[in-house]
Structure 1
Amino acid sequence: MTIPSPLPPGALDGVTIIDLTTAVLGPLATQHLGDMGADVIKVESPGGDLNRQIGIGPREAMGAFYVTMNRNKRSLVLNLRDPGAKEALFRLIEQADVVVHNMRSASTERLGIDYAAVAARNPRIIYASAQGYRWDGPYSNRPAYDDIIQGESGLADLGAGGNGAPRFVPTVLADKLAGLSLASAIGFALYAREKTGLGQEIQVPMLETLLSFLMVEHMWKAAFDGDKTQLGYQRLTTPNRRPLPTSDGFVCIMANSNGHWRALFDVLGCPEAMDDPRFATLSARSRNFHDLYGFIGERTGAFSSDYLIENLQSRDVPCGRVKRLADMFEDPYLTETNFFQHIEHPTLGKILTTAIPTYLSETPGSIRTPPPELGEHTADILGKLGYSADQIAKMAAA
């Protein structure tokens, strides 16, 4: 796709964000903000975001992991250990609305870019950060990545395999969830500033964010200050909750209401199961998910995937075919909705990206620019701050 111009203004049109983040959590958050129209200035060290080196890519510093989470940004290289470069950052901050980072507090204090220092230069700033743990707790300066948080939150234990060994979810869930939470919190703070005129500090801890997410359904008896060993929603923890085998593949079926279950039992040729006291009501089913899902899983293999999907969908029972990730690129639905989009990169040629899934009717998100080369916009950004070519070159050499 060729990016059209002009584009309609997004919800965050006119908002300037100074992005000091690396890895996944922060860059994903700022990409969401950029998708909604914000001007995101990605400030990188001379070596660049480490994600630039991860994954297959046409050349060094433009790896796949970087490309998938850094569209709609401009890249500025500054060595923040150099006083002149740090002053340039502060001059940018004076004109900005938001500063985002995922450094630990000891690092920001050492660099002199903690909230107090930044707010002294721009009292209206939204200063947002995300780390592994709360800033006011004993782990505040411990390093953390997604694997650590999946383990410490109990998520890896929830995903234990048949041998009881904990397993990581095969996606950086803690990073991405905290990134979405961080982007949301920035939106909240910008709205509050519109009403009060006040900037503020935001901190999003990864551990608490993921744990609160998990406890929505897994608090269980502990929600009533009951037995804290009886945790977990049985429907989700039974090993019988899995994609269901068919004669030619696998399907997913999520019957919920009495009507759904009656229809499912009919399609499977066992309508009498609705009279089983274990399965007759929602309350009974919620106590017997292990037996219920085992009962269904023993019967789906007699039918083809097409048969089950056609007959269940005709009766409004939620279901779908299990697909491989590679199947998504040719999926008819995703093709119809133009989910995968090619955009032109000035040096890489065509690159593939995903559409912005969130729809706003009056202030839509848009893909305006491809992921930037390291330092691609340094001269332009610093030049507009009043720096000369010689001063910019001196900063680059620092």
Structure 2
Amino acid sequence: MAAIKVLDLTRVRAGPACVRQFADWGADVIKIESPEYMEVSDGWGGLRDGPDFQNLHRNKRSLAINLKDPEGIAIFYKLVAEADVVVENFRPDVKFRLGIDYETLAEINPRIVYASISGFGQDGPYAKRPGFDHIVQGMGGLMSLNGDASHGPMRAGFAVADVGAGMYCAIAIMTALLERQTSGRGQWVQVSLLQTMVSMLDFQAARWLFLQEIPQQPGNDHPTSIPTGVYPTSDGYITIAAGEQAMFRRLCASLQRMDLMEHPDFCSESLRSENRVALNTILSAITRTRTRAEWIALFEKDSVAAGPINSIDEVFADPQVQHLGIAQPLHHPRLGDVEVVGQPFILNRTPSQMRTVAPDRGAHNHDILSDIGYSPEQITALKEKGVL
């Protein structure tokens, strides 16, 4: 992706998660920020050296310009003329006020792929609402499905709508770039957190669309495939996925409880789903008799789908996680040696690379402006006038 230039106007999480996909594969990503004196944060306050910011903004260059200043906009337009992609996640009206909307930029560069991420879409009755992951998890149905009914609606423990929107937006940009190879023209890509959340419901959403079934909160159980859930051991918890007949048979054999396979309440997938409480009570009494490690070793030998419930430190200590190399090292000039979360997919010829830590604000002003024809004297003058 070294030939791709991305102008990153995004803030907080969804947009940066999108742009990170390009930065990690070598695209020239220029993070457009406001100058320090404007006191406009990236949504992180003073946490620029914190793990979240560093994880989201590695492999980028930073240009700090005032987009409310005509000379700042002129700089941005020069960058657009040479860019392939612009990504923004302002509220829908902001881009038009600044003069950086798709139609304006397409006049400068008809090949530009312009991506907008919003809470609820670029138009419609909710377009002007502020969109946050927590709000969209509720509005998009996830909180009605997550957790146990006795505790009420439950949010997911990470920013699923934000990260999902970032991933969908990256896919949409790549699709537009592929289409551009045929048409020679860019286009406006639009992604919202609400669309993302509904789409990610997947089979749960399809149950309503096809059957008008309203899914309920299943707790740790799978909505339909039982036993698939969390079971206690003598020193922690494991998860088992054995709803399908052949897998349930292997589970019963491994537990030395083949009687469960023939039990009139558990002998079919539909009966196990209907009688899940009774079955889970029996299984939990059995799994409590051994340790996590003992059960996992036994189930692996017997080809039963199961795994431990790991805390985050256990996740990164897991030998398979270490083998996959998801924790990637970087050296930070102030923080020393650190690790960030790497990419979840592998390309055998062109792997992702962790090249640089997240840049300081405006760290690459001189280099970027020099690349588009500004002299050292002009850059100094722009700094003195507050454009940079």
Q: TM-score, normalised by structure 1?
A: 0.88
Q: Are residues 1:63 and 2:55 paired?
A: no
- Alignment partner of 1:231 is 2:215: yes
Secondary structure (helix, strand or coil) at the match of 1:193 reads: helix
Q: 1:393 to 1:63 in 2, by over 3 A?
A: farther
Q: Does 1:50 align with 2:38?
A: no
Alignment of 1:21 with 2:4, yes or no, is no
Alignment of 1:190-339 (within 5 A): 190-220=177-207, 222-224=208-210, 226-228=211-213, 230-232=214-216, 235-237=221-223, 242-339=229-326
Shift of 1:272: 0.6
Cα distance change on mapping 1:309 and 1:44 into 2, 3 Å: same
Displacement of 1:388: 2.4
**Aligned 8 A contact 1:240 1:297 in 2:** no
After TM superposition, list the pairs within 5 Å mapping 1:126-137 onto structure 2: 126-137=113-124
**Alpha-carbon displacement from aligned partner over 1:74-129 (angstroms, at most 9, x marks no partner):** 01101100110111001000000000000122101111111111111111100001
Shift of 1:291: 4.2
Counterpart position of 2:176: 189
* 63-72 or 172-181, larger mean C-alpha shift: 63-72
Q: Do the aligned residues in 2 keep the contact of 1:78 with 1:395 (CA within 8 Å)?
A: no
SS in 2 for 1:344: strand
Look up the equivalent residue of 1:23 and give its one-letter code.
V
Structure 2: runs of 5+ lacking an equivalent:
none
The residue type paired with residue 75 of structure 1 is S
Which residue is equivalent to 2:108? 121
Hey, what's the Cα distance between the residues in 2 that align with 1:88 and 1:277?
74
Comparing 40-49 with 204-213, greater Cα deviation is found at 40-49
Q: Distance in 2 between matches of 1:92 and 1:147?
A: 35
Say which SS state the counterpart of residue 288 (structure 2) adopts: helix
> Aligned equivalents of 1:310 and 1:25: distance in 2?
39
**d(CA) in 1 for partners of 2:227 and 2:254?**
20
Change beyond 3 A, Cα 1:331–1:160: closer
When structure 1 is superposed on structure 2, of 375-384 and 362-371 the one drifting more is 362-371
Report SS of the residue matched to 1:236: coil
Q: Could you give the per-residue CA deviations for residues 351-380 of structure 1, whole angstroms, max 9, x where no partner exists?
A: 211332211122222222221111111111
Alignment of 1:95-114 (within 5 A): 95-114=82-101
Native 8 Å contact 1:267 1:308 kept in 2:
no
Distance 2:365 2:41 in 1: 15
Which of 316-325 and 256-265 deviates more? 256-265
Q: Deviations over 1:241-260 (max 9, x none)?
A: 64210112111111143222
CA RMSD of aligned residues (A): 2.3
- Measure, in 2, the Cα distance between the counterparts of 1:213 and 1:392: 46
Q: 1:320 deviation in Å?
A: 1.2
Report the alpha carbon displacement of residue 165 of structure 1 after superposing the two structures with TM.
Answer: 2.5
Pairing 1:346–2:330 present: no
233-242 vs 328-337, which deviates more?
Answer: 233-242
Deviation at 1:54, TM superposition (A): 5.8
Distance 2:380 2:281 in 1: 68
> CA separation of 1:205/1:217 partners in 2, compared to 1, >3 Å: closer, same or farther?
same
CA drift at 1:331: 2.6
Distance 1:312 1:186, change over 3 A: same
Counterparts in 2 of 1:289 and 1:118: CA distance versus 1, 3 Å: farther
Q: Which amino acid aligns with 1:270?
A: R
Deviates more, 1:231-240 or 1:183-192: 231-240
- The answer to whether the 8 Å contact 1:108/1:114 transfers is yes
Match of 1:76, SS state, is: strand
Using the TM superposition, name which of 61-70 and 374-383 deviates more.
61-70
**Which residue number corresponds to residue 374 of structure 2?**
387
Query: How many residues of Structure 1 are paired with residues of Structure 2 in the alignment?
Result: 379
After superposing the two structures, state which structure 1 stretch, 63-72 or 81-90, moved more. Answer: 63-72
Pick the aligned partner of 1:31 from 17, 20, 26.
Answer: 20
* C-alpha distance 276-252 of structure 1, shift in aligned 2 (>3 A): same
C-alpha separation in 1, matches of 2:354 and 2:264: 54
Residue 36 of structure 1 deviates from its aligned partner by 1.9
Give the residue type in structure 2 aligned to 1:156: M
* Cα distance, 1:78–1:349 mapped onto 2, change above 3 Å: same
Letter in 1 for 2:209: A
41, 62, 73: which one aligns with 2:30: 41
**Secondary structure, aligned partner of 1:270:** coil
Q: What's the offset of the Cα at 1:288?
A: 4.2
SS in 1 for 2:56: coil
Q: Give 1:367-386 correspondences, 5 Å limit.
A: 367-386=354-373
Residue 195 of structure 1, CA deviation = 1.9
Name the SS for the 1:75 alignment partner: strand
Q: Check conservation: 2:228, 2:243, Cα contact below 8 A.
A: no
Closer/same/farther in 2, CA of residues 317 and 80 from structure 1, 3 Å limit = same
Change beyond 3 A, Cα 1:337–1:105: closer
| Structure 1 letter corresponding to 2:177 | L
Tell whether 2:349 aligns with 1:362.
yes
